[in-house]
Amino acid sequence: MAQQESGRWRGWVWVVLALAVVFCLLLLMRSNRERIVVRTADVERHDINRTVSTNGKVVPTVDFQAHAPFDGEVKNLFVTLDENVREGQQLIQMDDRDAARNVAAAEASLASAKSALSAMERGGTQDERNSASSDLDSAQLQQKQDAASLDSLKKLQAQGAASANEVTAAQQRLAEANVRVAQLQTRRTGRYSSDELATQRAQVAQAQAALNSARGVLAGVDVRAPFAGTVYALPVSKYDFVKSGDALLDVADLTKLEVLAYFDEPEVGDLSVGQPVKIVWDAKPTLVWHGHILEAPTTIINYGTRNVGECLITVDDAKGDLLPNTNVTVTVTTQQRQDVLSLPREALHTEGANNYVYRIVNDRLVKTAVQLGIVNQTRLEITGGLSSGDEVALGATTEEELKDGLRVKAQP
């Protein structure tokens, strides 16, 4: 009988133990169902940069563009596109026949203008001076004759052999002879006025300028490289007919390049001289160039539909693989922090001017105020409120809203 009672007692013990285990399992399952699964991140030390990107255009700092000096034919082409050329090397030769004729005509015009000026300064041409001298000699001879005649008539008048009218007529003839001599002498030494001489000197100067221009055009038929560089644009071919002023080719030193970039107005205040820049070109996506800001924007201009500031950027590592006039994307690092506490940006929550995150402490969310430094598109700098190693919730794996005190299960 005692053994039966003992067996029943042990049976009840096992039943109670089984019920306790089931109860604990139910509690555990319920607890797990109440805990929200959240993605997490630890507060860690990182380098954080803040950047701003925009478009820009590559411009050479040492550039030469040859233009056609006149309407004509490209007689010879001595280079090819992308060819490296040395200083003084001949690049293009234009047909010089018309230019040579223009120089000859200008030289003739200048010689004629100078001859005319010389003649005017000497009182006329040789023939004109000879004629004037002959006229003066004749007038002076007539003057002497009229003076002698007047003397004779005056003596005869004193003797009563000549009338007063005869003496008056002789005086009149001498006066006219004197006037004639004076006119011829004046004409011999001052035939041309100062205004006439000034006009002729101006014609000489104009003819000289025309000759200089014609010679410059003739000299321009041979296009030579003013410095060592690379032919990066060659829009013409041999025997092409070009108009005066048309572009013939472009040469630049491709190791000395700059980028003219256009930053939107709200970003201008973050830019300053010396900030590092990364440059990429879609045509060569595997390459990256580097530079720094040489001139920060000083004013805002209209650029299409944008209000922008122009920024000049040097390319520090140009090696000839970046071409002028190409459109590039530039990224300026405006702020840098090294080895600072940081979190992914998605961990941040804001209420007005207050910033906070949710720390995970004993499987519960704890709302924690934080102070921030640099914030970029992916990470933020923590300057206060957290310590290295703190675990912070980024967001629930469901649409559950995070709140203070919520029980959670971390999913790194």
pTM listed for this prediction = 0.61
How much is the pLDDT for 168?
Answer: 83
Interval 112-118 mean pLDDT: 81
Separation of alpha carbons 211 and 217, rounded Å = 10
User: Residue 192's pLDDT band (boundaries 50, 70, 90)?
Assistant: low
pLDDT in tens, 36-53: 999 999 999 999 999 999
How much is the pLDDT for 55?
Answer: 94
How much is the pLDDT for 227?
Answer: 95
CA atoms lying within 13 Å on the CB side of residue 345: 10
User: Residue 136's pLDDT band (boundaries 50, 70, 90)?
Assistant: low
How much is the pLDDT for 127?
Answer: 61
For the cut 50, the answer to whether the pLDDT of residue 386 exceeds it is yes
How much is the pLDDT for 31?
Answer: 46
User: Residue 27's pLDDT band (boundaries 50, 70, 90)?
Assistant: very low
DSSP assignment of 74-109, as one string?
EEEE---TT-EE-TT-EEEEE--HHHHHHHHHHHHH
Separation of alpha carbons 295 and 314, rounded Å = 9
Cβ atoms of residues 141 and 217 within 8 Å: no
Interval 21-34 mean pLDDT: 51
How much is the pLDDT for 226?
Answer: 94
Residues 6+ positions from 235 with CB-CB distance below 8 Å:
247, 248, 249
Provide the CATH topology of domain 36-48+338-411: 2.40.420
Domain ranges of the chain: 36-48+338-411, 63-95+221-251, 105-215
Report the length, in residues, of the chain: 412
Q: What percent of the chain has pLDDT over 90?
A: 54
Separation of alpha carbons 29 and 26, rounded Å = 5
pLDDT in tens, 251-275: 999 999 999 999 999 999 999 999 9
Determine which of 95-99, 132-136, 292-296 has the lowest per-residue pLDDT on average: 132-136
How much is the pLDDT for 235?
Answer: 95
Class of domain 63-95+221-251: mainly beta
3-state secondary structure of 371: strand
Comparison of pLDDT for 122 and 316, the residue scoring more:
316
For the cut 70, the answer to whether the pLDDT of residue 5 exceeds it is no
